[in-house]
A and B are shown apart, each in its own frame.
Chain A
């Protein structure tokens, strides 16, 4: 079943166009969203969260259009964005106390377990955290309300290799519960480790939105790693 369906998402900026982006996310699958800096990953994700307004296109979650069902849909999804600090001078505990009031599905036990797993001190404020710990703090909030879809913007950037490995393993466990995970990254080894599907964006256009196996068949040369395949594809796009 498609948890998220995006069709012809278009947003024009001076000098950049997100051009008719279409893909879908399925329950119980991890989708890696890959593209170089400025390719349109964050614009796509922001559109998916109604933070920016696409010029045209349709975004559906759970069979419902985002427009008109925003509050209901957002209760069922979790979102985390890299190293942004929300309320840098407030304690993590205070931010949590506010957040949990918005979600009927907030799970304190899960929150506590992720708090321990990420080794976060809830009496600290985001400004006291390193970049990697900020990423973990944002993930903590996204994971604590039993979301059916997780949209994660660069969740592994800034993390040390051990934490990254732990997180990717956690993604594997979460998807077993039928959660759709969509994460953007420019670290190709993350995709290699855990993605079932790949959405590859370049210069605002979707180059491929297919399973990892199909991607390997279609784009990966013999004896070529996924990273080498991406680099080759990206060079070809640049030269085109």
Chain B
């Protein structure tokens, strides 16, 4: 226990010189190296960093929730007690009452076979004898306080009966129910859509203001930090490289890494000029009343993912499709590439009608289409080298006999995406996520396509890596002049690349037009809400935007 008696009324968590080491297959990893942080009550401390920075490990240590393979040293003082040494029994008592946690993925943080009321009551009853009735009453109470409508009924619902955002509210309710002094929120909004994210951030703000809890917010999203944090600690490779209050950090970052991180965040700024393609430019993709329905199972009604959408992509033009999960944006991309059947309306791709198309007729056109997938982890066959994978389009379309014959072109492509030629001999797992996405880009460009479809190519990447990949994409596009469909959930990312933007909402294209028009003067309510929900990495501007969003939702 600490000898130095600090003013404990204000210090909720005091982390001193924390070191955490993991045993992995590749040897021991020092995930956290000498981190010291303090959080005071009524304050939101954001720990920011990219994957592998040790931010989650640091936060989980506060609850003593480290995997068995990890070893921690240093001290984590929670209202004066060192979590690392008080022993498992005391740690269990502290969990829930003094410190609670909000998880990243609400659908996995809730037990699917118990009602939410029961799960909330479990937390209450783990700390003292409380009658079932009393626990239920408190569960209903806390559910209503986190904004679950009709809590008396919903307390008996199972998790799958809630939407994603509501699930996260339930998870927050569970954390709040025993009024802990500290809440650790590990990427609490990452799994959520941006409009839902805004609501959850508001709820967390209320946790701080109304419940007086100290919040440790783990995130990689600088917009979220700007929205919620009072103070920010930036972590990089297991160390805290900079700690400052939020305003100072955004206005005047000191550390190089912080500067780079902030610089990489795509911003919603008008890009000014845009070479609008002339009206008579050749049309590459033309959708008229496009409908796509997934067949239902066993006689159930199918799911209409796309409900009558019109758009065109002209030669050399980049169309950005934006939407939240379930909006149908990925489905449209897949339909253009012939991966999903068109069930209604018309979709012409490079002059081929995709509604009722036969693979035989479309196959020659495939040489002119490139596709970059979202998940860099699965986009390469783990058993083939990068060069073999990149050569595949060349071999399939008869431009090269085998991978060796294609090697010259592969090297050229590797160079184009700024990867060393030697990477061609590596296996996918030997590349980082960003490198794999570049290689994926190389593969999609192998045949000089007229059309490139990029389905959230950077959403799985860290922000600094994302910035470089996006830059590369923009460069290649202007050099090679292919038309592109760029699909993303992130307005700011789309804005960087697209000439025109289409906004999808539940399968409908609610708005489309040139960037500046859609982003600068949105007409549809949904677009407005989407825009206003997107947090920007600037605390004061974000505060103003928050107000604007409130006004917008009140109005709606």
Our verdict on whether A and B bind, yes or no, reads no
Question: Interface of A with B (CB < 8 Å)?
Answer: none
